[in-house]
Amino acid sequence: MEHLLQVEHVVRKFGGLTAVDDVSLYLNEHELVALIGPNGAGKTTLFNLLTGMVPATSGVIDLRTNKQKYDLTHKNAMQIADLGLSRTFQNIRLFKNLSVMENVLTAMTSKYKEGFMTAVLRLPSFYRTEQEMKSEAHQLLEIFNLSAEEQTLAKNLPYGIQRRLEIVRALATHPQILFLDEPAAGMNPEETADLTDLIKYIQEQFKITVLLIEHDMSLVMNLAQRIYVLDQGKVLASGEPAQIKANPQVIKAYLGEGAD
């Protein structure tokens, strides 16, 4: 069986430090997978490798889609985004002084490309594209209950709503794979419960693959079909949630003796 994303023996070194050490993993279409582990385990560095933020020192990252194979190992973030990989960040990265609508429209520019002369001369196709973008943005904001906030500046939104907007902006790029880096960080229990429902909805309704970094184990165990555990840059274990909860190495390294 060919996997949507195949990562083989990936290493990332920063000087004398090996942050990601011989990591191999895979993602299938329409799958929700979690990546867990203690702080400093290399989880975000691995995300950065998969999304082109930093290059791998060695190893191979392959995307197989539309009956084609793409080597992502040496592509940059923009090239990888164009192939359908999108992400959020541990620290929310919105355009704080732009409105909710403007944040979503900005994300769409990679999918709605107009020629230079078309844009400069404001040809009819420019206005058609602009209207298509606004229409799609309106639909996304309505789906995620953000319509009332369309003209609100991102910096004026409550934290939980900012996180939701960041996810909507990532979806506006039409991703095949959505990488979520600690989306529940800083959220209260009610916000986390809402986020759990939101991620489940996204994965089911948009038919995309989700890779999730998260420390909230209730969220992970409720959502993930498979889990990879990273420790000191290496894959310590992988499997279904029940297998991970019962794994003695994982309990010792991360979950703790009292894990339930």
Q: What is the pLDDT of residues 116-167, one digit of tens each?
A: 444 444 556 655 767 788 888 999 999 999 999 999 999 999 988 999 999 9
What pLDDT, on a 0 to 100 scale, did the predictor assign at position 102?
Answer: 93
What pLDDT, on a 0 to 100 scale, did the predictor assign at position 130?
Answer: 75
Decide: 208 and 30 in contact? Cβ < 8 Å. yes
Q: What is the pLDDT of residues 5-30, one digit of tens each?
A: 999 999 999 988 999 999 999 999 99
Decide: 84 and 65 in contact? Cβ < 8 Å. yes
Q: What are phi and psi of 62, to 5 degrees?
A: -120, 140
Kindly state the percentage of the chain with pLDDT values over 70. 90
Kindly state the percentage of the chain with pLDDT values over 90. 66
What pLDDT, on a 0 to 100 scale, did the predictor assign at position 21?
Answer: 96
- Give, in order, the Cα–Cα distances in Å from 40 to each of 12, 20, 93, 238: 14, 10, 21, 18
Map out the domains of the chain with their CATH numbers.
1-84+175-260 (3.40.50.300), 94-174 (no CATH)
| The pLDDT of residue 200 is above 50 | yes
